[in-house]
């Protein structure tokens, strides 16, 4: 039975992971398959594993990056630091959680941003935003996280982004707003204030240029989509699954 790799999340119609990994398998002559499993509740992961005992690696995407943690046997230090899991290694029945979003966002940042960035605002407070926080901390960049319901001192309401005296250089969308098939959606901020001094990053990669990025680019901002992060986190996941690190 060939090795099976899985993507768990909801929705998954936007995802390129299956195409990415299956192309990789074909190009490298690897006898394996990657499938999407769209589930309605994280408890359904158990049924997926029972029905497919040949699963040896799993990617976790929204909205399950945090709710999956109680189902795991252990957490790697990367997942412990972030408090979210996007990669699972299945080993002798154990489920070991990792976070490769840190590696993915680091790749996106290092490959695309050459100027010094003093401050950033992260739009959204889910699992992906926690990985971004970790990277910004490692780079000594001041940041705040915008949330509809701020709960900590590092979080602010969306309405405060432009009104509290902040001068954020980078604006990072870590919400699903604008993702296929709802491409007309944008994060709830006043986009008219975006200008050529800003770097706008959208973790969404489908569509390749969200409405949010289109607006930013049209107003002179540097606009970067999420494809470099997808590739970076996927390559790190593959190394984890195959004991290459």
Q: What is the CATH number of the domain that holds 67?
A: 3.40.50.10860
Biggest alpha carbon–alpha carbon distance for the chain: 59
| Rounded average pLDDT over 15-24 | 90
Is the same domain home to 94 and 157? no
Same domain, yes or no: 91 and 152 = no
Per the structure, the complete domain to which residue 9 belongs is given by: 3-99
Q: What is the tens place of the pLDDT at every residue in 37-50?
A: 999 999 999 999 99
User: Over the stretch 84-140, which tens digit does the pLDDT of each residue have?
Assistant: 999 999 999 899 999 999 999 999 999 999 889 999 999 999 888 999 999 999 999
Check residue 15 and give its pLDDT. 82
Q: Is residue 217 part of a domain?
A: yes
Judgement on whether residues 107 and 221 belong to the same structural domain of the protein: yes
Residue 164 has a pLDDT of 83
My answer on whether 169 and 214 are in the same domain is yes
Show which of 99, 119, 137 is a domain's final residue. Answer: 99
State pLDDT tens for residues 233-245: 999 999 999 988 7
Q: Which of 160, 97, 170 is nearest to 132 (CA)?
A: 170
Smallest CA-to-CA distance from 87 within 233, 203, 244, 242 is with 233
Q: What is the DSSP string of 53-102?
A: TTEEEEEE-TT-TTTTGGG-SEE-HHHHHHT--SEEEEETTEEEEE--HH
> What pLDDT does residue 227 have?
94
The catalytic site residues sit at 65
Residue 165: what pLDDT?
Answer: 84
Q: Which of 84, 99, 114 is the last residue of a domain?
A: 99
pLDDT in tens, 137-163: 999 999 999 999 998 999 999 999 998
Q: What is the pTM of this model?
A: 0.91
Same domain, 87 and 152: no
Domain end call among 79, 99, 119: 99
CATH of the domain at 198: 3.40.50.720
Q: How many domains does the chain have?
A: 2
Is there a single domain that holds both residue 73 and residue 164? no
Q: What tens digit of pLDDT does each residue of 172-222 get?
A: 999 999 998 889 999 999 999 999 999 999 999 999 999 999 999 999 999
- What span, in angstroms and rounded, lies between the C-alpha atoms of 13 and 17? 11
d(CA 216, CA 200): 7
Q: Is residue 110 included in any domain, yes or no?
A: yes
């Amino acid at each position: 039975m060939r090795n099976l790799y899985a993507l768990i999340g909801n929705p998954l119609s936007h995802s390129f992971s299956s195409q990415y990994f299956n192309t990789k398998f074909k190009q490298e002559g690897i006898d394996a398959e990657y499938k999407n499993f769209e589930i309605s509740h994280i408890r359904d992961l158990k049924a997926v594993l029972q029905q497919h005992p040949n699963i040896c690696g799993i990617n976790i995407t929204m909205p399950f990056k945090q709710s999956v943690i109680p189902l795991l046997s252990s957490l790697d230090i990367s997942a412990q630091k972030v408090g979210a899991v996007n990669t699972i290694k299945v080993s002798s029945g154990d489920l070991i959680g990792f976070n490769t979003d840190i590696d993915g966002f680091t790749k996106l940042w290092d490959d695309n941003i050459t100027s010094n960035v003093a401050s950033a605002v992260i739009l959204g407070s889910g699992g992906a935003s926690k990985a971004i926080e970790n990277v910004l901390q490692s780079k000594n960049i001041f940041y705040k996280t915008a949330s509809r319901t701020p709960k900590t001192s590092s979080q602010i309401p969306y309405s405060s982004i432009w009104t509290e005296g902040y001068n954020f250089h980078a604006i990072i969308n870590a919400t699903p707003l604008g993702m296929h098939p709802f491409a007309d959606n944008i994060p709830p901020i006043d986009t008219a204030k975006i200008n050529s001094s800003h770097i706008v990053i959208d973790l969404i990669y489908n569509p390749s240029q969200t409405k949010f990025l289109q607006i930013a680019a049209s107003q002179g901002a540097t606009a970067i989509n999420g494809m470099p992060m997808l590739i970076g986190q996927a390559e790190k996941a593959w190394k984890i699954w195959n004991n290459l690190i």
